[in-house]
């Protein structure tokens, strides 16, 4: 999301609407840029995709659905600052 223009700068359309999304997620890796933040849904974030983004210098946040089980591992760490506050 481009916060200044409130639009999504990239999008990928696929012919088959019922194709499993995970099958083509890796095709988006060439579009990942350093210092971008990607926001994912838990069902659509395989480990290979997350690692691919990290190797390209991007960060990601994964939203865990309320029905999902899980707990935070490790401690929260400050990574810097943004225009909106600490990261």
- The Cα–Cα gap between 3 and 28 comes to 21
Digit-coded pLDDT (tens) for 42-84:
777 778 888 889 999 999 888 776 666 667 778 888 888 888 8
Q: pTM (2 decimals)?
A: 0.56
* 31-39: average pLDDT: 87
- Residues 1 and 7: their CA atoms lie apart, in Å, by 6
Three-class SS string for 23-53? HCHHHHHHHCCCCCEEEEEHHHCCHHHHHHH
* Ranges of each domain in the chain: 34-68
CA–CA distance, 12 with 25 (Å, rounded to integer): 10
């Amino acid at each position: 999301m481009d916060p200044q223009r409130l639009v999504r700068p990239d999008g990928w359309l696929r012919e088959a609407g019922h194709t499993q999304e995970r099958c083509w997620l890796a095709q988006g890796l060439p579009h990942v840029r350093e210092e971008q933040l990607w926001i994912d849904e838990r069902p659509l974030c395989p480990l290979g995709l997350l690692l691919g983004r990290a190797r390209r210098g991007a960060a990601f946040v994964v939203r865990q659905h309320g029905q999902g089980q899980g707990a935070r591992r490790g401690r929260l760490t400050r990574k810097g600052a943004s225009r909106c506050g600490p990261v």
